[in-house]
Amino acid sequence: MTESNGSAARGQRNQRENMPDWERRFRAPRVSLPDWAEDAPDRALFVSNATGTYELYAWDRSTDEQRQVTDRPNGTTDGVLSPDGAWIWWFDDKDGDEFGVWRRQPFTGGEDEPAVPGLDPSYPAGLALGRDGRTAVVGRSTDEDGTTIHVARAGEAPVEIYRHRESAGVGDLSHDGSLIAVEHTEHGDAMHSALRVVRPDGTPVADLDDTKGGTVELGLEVLGFAPVEGDTRLLIGHQRRGRWEPLVWDVATGEETDLALELPGDVSAEWYPDGSGLLIGHSHEARGELFRYDFGTRELVKVPTPRGTVSGATARPDGSVEYLWSSAAQPSSVRSTTGRVVLDPPGMKSPGSVPVEDVWVEGPGGRIHALVQKPAGAVGPLPTVFDIHGGPTWHDSDSFAAGPAAWVDHGYAVVRVNYRGSTGYGRAWTDALKHRVGLIELEDIAAVREWAISSGLADPDRLILTGGSWGGYLTLLGLGTQPDAWTMGIAAVPVADYVTAYHDEMEALKAMDRTLLGGTPEEVPERFEASSPLTYVDQVKAPVYISAGVNDPRCPIRQIENFVKRLETNGAVHEVYRYDAGHGSLVVDERIKQVRLELDFADRHLKTARD
């Protein structure tokens, strides 16, 4: 090693040693659960931030050789490995705007090429690749056409087999390529899909629709065709008993096999590679666990995993299970039931954080589950951050998250609320979010806020409301509708002006908004007005920090600018940070910059409030 190289290495080592833990958590290399090729299980695809930007990587497990597949300024995370392991498909959008085309690259390396010549750019609406190496089923969504689905074969022009104004998507392609499962919302309810199975020429085979015939609409989802040649069984998820559960539907005979697993939370599943059983994922009260269901014995056997959250799992051909696990205190890792860590990225290791505490609070719509973290040994009342999750159909869990951990490192308590609308607590809890959108969630957040103050955890004069996406929306709405409740707000990529957001956002989100609010802004103007942060902007008292991606198709920039202009007119204390990406950033440096700006804003304005 030369003297200059040695100096550089020492400099990098010193920089790492002096780096604060919160920044190390963002910079430490991490990996997703590897996806493997059905007919070439030693070929795998995963996502990693090893270069400082989240990109796709190919992994030959037989040689342990890894290769970076994509290299784009704003990162790449959407990729699919063909069943024969020969090709890697990846979605090529522009600067995070989610509008683009599929490209593909040989697994062993080489030039990228258009994966489906003849299809114009669009928002993606699902993709399924055939085992023959020639066939692809491609879903597209555009404002002009709604959803279209195409069958593309090598050397032939793609053929459209489905078209509808409402949102839909490709579910799966059967093992022999003779059947295509489609999730659709032709009935107009974007929260509850129905299913249709068609042949590659578009000929209908079977329909299943739980949205009809009852007083409560229920959803269905495609989990996958049986991995057996000629098998017409389709694994689906249903909500018939008030939560997500799996059943097996034979699309040829119409027979339905209800597994009736009697687990209390939401259940998902995937096939074991030989079709003899199912790998069951059970999510309950912000934690996850795994089981194997055997068709022969009809027994449910637990797959051992630590307490925490299983973010994804897959059954390997040898019968082992690989899963991505973490807890609030321990960083994520890809583990195997064989006892080993499957994929351990080299380089800096992420520091842990403090464990999460469970809190249950009585609210206007039932018991609310909140997750609380606070600095070790800290005694309240503490400056407290209410970090509100996005979605809204999502939930916070006992999983590792660098953002909340950063607040804890700086002396804050962090409270995360699984408000009505969150998943993981049954269908009724999720579906409660209708018509009074935003206001319902804020009622639950207010109830948890009162608990946090009365319990002695939170200092009522140092309360921060923050979140990204839907959480950013609730932040701005909360600052206007609860102006005396919050000391400040920090909103990332938020909905700020609901009417303008509706007109500018991607088509699939328009459908979701029509479902949530019961129509368009022209049809139900009073509901959009009641749920829009812009309606209450004149009531905002607290300092506001907003960050926004200028290419965001989900929370577009124009509606944020409308809100900011009103803040300026009112002379409200606010700061805005705009960055060149879409709905968030896949670049580690950019994400660290945003967190640093948020921490600085909080520090400056909480000091002002305290003084």
Res 201: pLDDT = 96
Residues with Cβ < 8 Å from 383, sequence gap 6 or more? 411, 412, 413, 459, 462, 463, 464, 606
Residue 40, pLDDT > 90, answer yes
Sign, CA dihedral 59-63-65-69, equals negative
Residue 359 and residue 372: Cα distance in Å, rounded?
7
Residue 11, pLDDT > 60, answer no
pLDDT band at 343 (very low <50, low <70, confident <90, very high): very high
SS3 417: strand
Average pLDDT over residues 238-266: 95
* 375 and 381 Cβ atoms separated by less than 8 Å: no
Three state DSSP letters for 526-541: HHHHHHCHHHHHHHCC
Residue 173 and residue 151: Cα distance in Å, rounded?
11
* 447 and 369 Cβ atoms separated by less than 8 Å: no
Res 610: pLDDT = 56
* 101 and 158 Cβ atoms separated by less than 8 Å: no
* 321 and 290 Cβ atoms separated by less than 8 Å: yes
How far out from the chain centre does Cα 108 lie?
A: 30
Res 604: pLDDT = 96
Average pLDDT over residues 596-608: 92
Residues with Cβ < 8 Å from 271, sequence gap 6 or more? 224, 226, 227, 235, 277, 278, 279, 315
CA dihedral 515, 560, 390, 212 (to 10 degrees): 10
| Residue owning tokens 């009162």 | 450
Residue 61 and residue 55: Cα distance in Å, rounded?
19
Residue 431 and residue 35: Cα distance in Å, rounded?
32
Average pLDDT over residues 568-574: 98
Res 515: pLDDT = 93
* 436 and 530 Cβ atoms separated by less than 8 Å: yes
Res 141: pLDDT = 97
Residues with Cβ < 8 Å from 206, sequence gap 6 or more? 196, 197, 249, 251, 252, 254
Strand runs labelled E in 226-294: 233-238, 245-250, 256-258, 266-271, 277-284, 287-294
Residue 215, pLDDT > 70, answer no
Sign, CA dihedral 561-533-362-392, equals negative
Residue 14, pLDDT > 60, answer no
Task: Give the amino acid at 595.
Answer: V
How far out from the chain centre does Cα 459 lie?
A: 32
Res 214: pLDDT = 58
Residue 22 and residue 41: Cα distance in Å, rounded?
37
Lowest mean pLDDT among 70-84, 201-215, 575-589: 201-215
* 551 and 97 Cβ atoms separated by less than 8 Å: yes
Q: What is the pLDDT of residues 380-439, one digit of tens each?
A: 899 999 999 999 999 999 999 999 999 999 999 999 999 999 999 999 999 998 889 999
In 3-state terms the chain splits into helix, strand, coil percentages (rounded to 5) of 20, 35, 40
Residue 12, pLDDT > 90, answer no
CA distances for 240 relative to 98, 192, 250, 423, angstroms: 33, 12, 18, 16
pLDDT band at 217 (very low <50, low <70, confident <90, very high): confident
* 428 and 456 Cβ atoms separated by less than 8 Å: no
Share of the chain above pLDDT 70, in %: 96
Please give the model's pTM, rounded to 2 decimal places.
0.95
Residue 121, pLDDT > 60, answer yes
**Burial code of 148-163, b = ≥16 C-beta within 10 A, e = fewer?**
bbbbbeeeeebeebbe
Q: What is the pLDDT of residues 558-567, one digit of tens each?
A: 999 999 999 9
Q: How many CB atoms lie within 10 A of CB 546?
A: 23
Q: What is the mean pLDDT of the chain?
A: 95
Give yes or no for a cis peptide into 392 (omega within 30° of 0).
yes
Average pLDDT over residues 498-517: 95
Helix axes 470-481, 439-454, angle to 10 degrees: 70
Residue 467 and residue 453: Cα distance in Å, rounded?
20
pLDDT band at 38 (very low <50, low <70, confident <90, very high): very high
Q: Which string of DSSP letters, residue by residue, matches 327-364? A: -SSS--EEEETTSSEEE---SPPPP--PPPEEEEEEET
Of 163, 165, 223, nearest in space to 198 by CA: 163
Average pLDDT over residues 269-282: 97
562: left (phi over 0), alpha (psi -120 to 50) or beta: alpha
| Residue owning tokens 């389709």 | 234
Residue 45 tokens, joined: 């695809």
pLDDT band at 60 (very low <50, low <70, confident <90, very high): very high
Residue 349, pLDDT > 60, answer yes
Residue 91, pLDDT > 70, answer yes
Residue 4, pLDDT > 60, answer no
Residues with Cβ < 8 Å from 390, sequence gap 6 or more? 467, 468, 469, 470, 471, 472
Residue 312 tokens, joined: 């994804």
